[in-house]
Amino acid sequence: MTVQDDAIHVDGAHFAFTDRWGGVSAVPYEELNLGGAVGDDPAAVLGNRELAAKSLGLDPGLVVWMNQVHGRDVAVVDGPWGDEIPSVDAVVTARRGLALAVLTADCTPVLLVDPVAGVAAAAHAGRPGLVAGVVPAAVEAMITLGADPSRITARTGPAVCGRCYEVPEGMRAEVARTVPAAWSETSWGTPAVDVTAGVHAQLEALGVRDRHRSPVCTLESGDHFSYRRDRTTGRLAGYVWLDG
C-alpha cells in the first residue's frame, strides 16, 4: 500500500508516500484515493485514510490535511483542524506525534523535518506554488519555530517529471524567470517544466543540504495517480511526523 524508501526513519523523523493500491475506492479512483475533493465517495475516502494511517502506525485522528489551492500560505498547527479546513498549501508543526499530510497527483509533495528542533512541515508544490514560493515560505515558518536549514532533511515524492510535463513555451519562460532550475524539455523535444528540480534548487538556496528525490514519475507510473494522464482520478498522499 505505502511506498517508502530505505531512510524512512531518520533521527525520530518518518516520511511516507502512498501509491494507488490497497484501498476501497472504485473506478476511476481505484484504489487508495486519499483526496476528498475529487468526486469520490466520501465514505471510501475516509476508509482509505484510516487504512493508510493504520498501515503507518498512525492514529487517523491525528493527521492534519489541507485544503490545497496552489498558493503559498502556510499554517502552523498543533493539532487537527475542526470542522473547517483552511485554504493553505503548507503546514508546519512543533508537536511530536502529529502527522502532516499533503495530497498530489502530479504536483510535488515536499516533506521537511528538523529532528533536533522537533519541527516538521509538509508542502504542496505545483507549478503555481513553485513560482509563488510555497516551499521557501514553509522553511521560513519552520525557522520561526527554531529549525535550522542546515539540519533539515527534505524529501520530495512521486511527481510528474521534467521529461513529461509539457507546457507552452511562454509558460516555461515565465516559470524559469523565477526558478531557472525548473526549465526543462520533454523527451520528445518540446518545452517543459521540472517542478521537483525547481523545489530542490529553492531548498539548496535556503541552505537545506540533506535532500532526497523520488525517482517515480506519476505520469509514467501506472501505480500512481496522475491528473495530467487521467484527469478524473484519485490523489496520493505524503506523510511526515516525528516520534512522540
Pairing state between β 90-93 and 153-156: unpaired
pLDDT higher than threshold 90 for residue 205 = yes
* Distance of alpha carbon 132 from alpha carbon 71, whole angstroms: 7
- The helix or strand, by DSSP H or E, that contains position 133, with its residue range, turns out to be none
Q: How many domains does the chain have?
A: 1
pLDDT digits (tens, 9 = 90+) for 66-107: 999 999 999 999 999 988 899 999 999 999 999 999 999 999
Q: Please tell me the pTM assigned to this model.
A: 0.96
CA-based nearest residue to 214, from 66, 110, 70: 110
Per-residue pLDDT tens over the stretch 7-51: 455 678 999 999 999 999 999 999 999 999 999 999 999 999 999
pLDDT of residue 199: 98
Give the contacts of 109 (CB within 8 A, at least 6 positions apart). 17, 102, 103, 122, 123, 124, 125, 156, 157, 158, 159, 236, 237, 238
**CATH for 125:** 3.60.140.10
Q: If pLDDT is split at 50, 70 and 90, which confidence band does 6 have?
A: very low
Helix and strand totals (H; E) in the chain: 6, 14
Q: What are phi and psi of 170, to 5 degrees?
A: -65, -35
Question: What's the domain range around 96?
Answer: 2-242
* pLDDT at 5 (0 to 100): 45
